[in-house]
Structure 1
Amino acid sequence: MNTLALDTTDVPAAVAGARIRLSGMADDRAMLRAAADLTRDLQKPNPVIYWGDFLGSAAVGYAALAGAILLPATGWAIASGVLAVLALYRASLFIHEITHLKHSDLPGFRVGWNLLLGMPMMLPSFMYEGIHSLHHSRTRYGTAEDPEYLPLALMKPWTLPLFLLVSVLMPVGLLLRFGLLGPISMLSPRLRRLVVARYSGLQINPSFERRAPEGEFARQWRWQEAGATLVAVALIATVATGVLALKPFLVFMGVISAVAMLNQVRTLVAHLWENDGEPLTVTAQYLDSVNVPTGVLPWLWAPVGLRFHALHHLLPSLPYHSLAEAHRRLSAALGQGTTYHGANYPTLRGLMGRLAASTMGRRAA
């Protein structure tokens, strides 16, 4: 990291370079009431938008992946690889919507997503379902029981590059999880408990252990894991025997790695990561989260509504295609200088600068 100074032009003046006091913050009742009242008609997911967006993104992503594999090593192959990463990244982020959807509103979407993307990329939805809901728990957010939270802003500078490095190695981890550990664990109850608790969730909190699935979710888990295992074992076997050439395998793994890296960068700026482990009010959780509502680039690095991540924490059941309109309504109803505008930031660069500066301050301390 060479440039760690915080660019205050990219951060709201009220919070530039300073931590927000989250612990003990009271809820802004007016904001919460407005959020509920102004979005009642936006709650219904539109199947045409969901299916069209997902299928279109997946089709473009797989076509571009084929181009990256089949084209000679030229600029066109690189361009195809970049397009594959962006399109498959967008398609993969529907896993986030799956965790919040009432599946009766979009019948078949979870199955379709897993068959077309989750299992082929060794990223079945059970890896996120049952995990992400805890992150939205009123009493768990930002605590040691939150699987998706670490106080990164309060940690040492080396944690940030390590956080990104882990994502680069994600495809190797998935290959080992589904191609080796998963099948072997079926023969050992003790290993199975470890695999389920520690290696079956997209979590960033290393101390979190998930519970074994039950009921309908356990049935979903079984067929999704079987599909991902089939893909992983097939990849290992065909590469080892020479049936699958090394180039397509490495390109495929490289695309998954780049998708994971891009998502990890987004994760770094999804929150301010400034909570020290205390339970927070909804308002405090909102202000520890981030909206980047303007500009073109957020559509690429925070697609499927995730540029409105703070608003999502305020209204987690709102479909992704409704978030822009909800933001417009709340911005108009709640004027500048109110709590709602405190979670809006202009750029990725400014947020990364703020986080880096905070960790550097920890080193100085």
Structure 2
Amino acid sequence: MSSDAIIQPELLNNKTDKQQKARQILPIQELSVLNDRCNRKGLVHLTGHLTIIGCSGYLWATNFSNWSLAIPALVIYGFSLATMFAPMHEGIHRTPFANNRLNDIVAWCAGLLSFYNSTFYRHYHKWHHLYTRVPGKDPELTDLTPSNLSEYLLVLSGLPWWVDKIRGHFRAILGQLDDCPFIPEAARAEVTRSTRWQLTVYAAAIALSITVGQPWFILYWLLPLFVGQPILRFILFGEHTGCSLDANLLTNTRVTLTLWPIRFLMWNMPFHAVHHLYPSIPFHALPKAHQRLSSHFAHVDSGYIKVNRDIVAKLGQL
């Protein structure tokens, strides 16, 4: 028997004990109120997000000759597309809407826009929550952790993310999921089918662009997402980077206090430590929950500029 097989039960029990202790902070009755899901709040927020995409996309599409307007519009459009990751993330937790079918549909469509596959991500993210920051178990720890400025800038560019997504999607459509232990055998066919449908939509969009002789796919999806990804990476750096490498939910995740527009487009994900402590709390209740929980967290930082400045200052120590 391997040493890993011997250690894992003890590691898992220790992790479970720490999580259970941390999750006793809020009384059950108070948590029940915070857990209330609401179709109306979810749909209003989604409508607002899609409106920002639509308006900024329109300004980008109609002002190519006016770069002073086109560039800001492209940045906002690209970022709002990239942050469709946020409703995808919320949807796979099935918290933004009271209707689970609606959660699944919105998650899949949001993943389509942000180049994630919600079906794959649901299983991947489940393990991330089960084994947050536990080396050898948390799948997010397989991503490149920068040890120098060059690696930091590389990750920030989004290029490793693009490579990972392209490679991952094509492996999924071929059913090559043996290196994904977080996906149960029974779920592999569903992941493959979902990813095939998603790539079919992209193929149809590319075919349409070619048919009409217009670079629509590049101008209105690929290029904006390339522009928006570095901003999203800048934000996602703050979730766990520099936090403890253990199962302590009060020390292994960060809350970043930031501007309302970012909180809006990220569906309150900057309250990330609150989300990891109580994943059942929907996005709209996270600010209220943070008021009750902020004193318990080791990492509550003011702004993503500060967070990233600290990360850069500690490169090689993470």
- Report the TM-score, using the length of structure 1 for normalisation: 0.69
Tell me, yes or no, if structure 1 residue 87 matches structure 2 residue 77.
no
Question: Which of 206, 212, 221 is the equivalent residue of 1:252?
Answer: 221
Opposite residue 124 of structure 2, the aligned amino acid is I
Are the counterparts in 1 of residues 87 and 107 from structure 2 also a CA contact under 8 Å? no
Partner of 1:272: 241
Partner of 2:119: 126
Task: Flag the 1:51–1:223 CA change in 2: closer, same or farther, 3 A.
Answer: farther
Tell me, yes or no, if structure 1 residue 109 matches structure 2 residue 102.
yes
Q: Distance in 2 between matches of 1:55 and 1:82?
A: 20
Opposite residue 351 of structure 1, the aligned amino acid is V
Task: Flag the 1:238–1:181 CA change in 2: closer, same or farther, 3 A.
Answer: farther
Q: Distance in 2 between matches of 1:122 and 1:152?
A: 19
- Between Structure 1 and Structure 2, the one with more helix by share is 2
Are the counterparts in 2 of residues 64 and 83 from structure 1 also a CA contact under 8 Å? yes
Task: Flag the 1:343–1:35 CA change in 2: closer, same or farther, 3 A.
Answer: farther
Task: Flag the 1:341–1:61 CA change in 2: closer, same or farther, 3 A.
Answer: same
User: How big is the shift at 1:235?
Assistant: 4.1
Which shows bigger deviation, 145-154 or 47-56?
145-154
How do residues 92-241 of structure 1 correspond to structure 2 at under 5 angstroms? 92-101=85-94, 105-113=98-106, 116-137=109-130, 139=131, 141-149=133-141, 155-165=147-157, 167-168=158-159, 170=161, 185=174, 192-193=175-176, 196-197=177-178, 209-210=180-181, 212=183, 214-215=185-186, 217-218=187-188, 220-238=190-208, 241=210
Tell me, yes or no, if structure 1 residue 35 matches structure 2 residue 26.
yes
Q: Distance in 1 between matches of 2:20 and 2:85?
A: 35
User: How big is the shift at 1:342?
Assistant: 2.5
User: How big is the shift at 1:90?
Assistant: 4.0
1:325 aligned counterpart, secondary structure: helix
User: How big is the shift at 1:222?
Assistant: 4.8
Q: Distance in 1 between matches of 2:163 and 2:155?
A: 16
Partner of 1:56: 48
Are the counterparts in 2 of residues 171 and 253 from structure 1 also a CA contact under 8 Å? no
- Report the TM-score, using the length of structure 2 for normalisation: 0.77
Opposite residue 261 of structure 1, the aligned amino acid is P
Are the counterparts in 1 of residues 93 and 279 from structure 2 also a CA contact under 8 Å? yes
User: How big is the shift at 1:97?
Assistant: 0.9
Instruction: State, as a whole percentage, how many aligned pairs show the same letter.
Output: 16
Q: CA RMSD in A?
A: 3.6
Tell me, yes or no, if structure 1 residue 355 matches structure 2 residue 311.
yes
Which shows bigger deviation, 344-353 or 258-267?
258-267
Quick one: higher RCO (CA 8 Å, sep 6+), 1 or 2? 1
Q: Aligned residue pairs: how many?
A: 302
5+ residue gaps in structure 2? 1-13
Q: Distance in 1 between matches of 2:134 and 2:153?
A: 21
Cα deviation 1:42-86 (Å, max 9, x = unaligned): 112111111221133124313432432243331332233233234
Q: Distance in 1 between matches of 2:275 and 2:40?
A: 21
1:123 aligned counterpart, secondary structure: coil
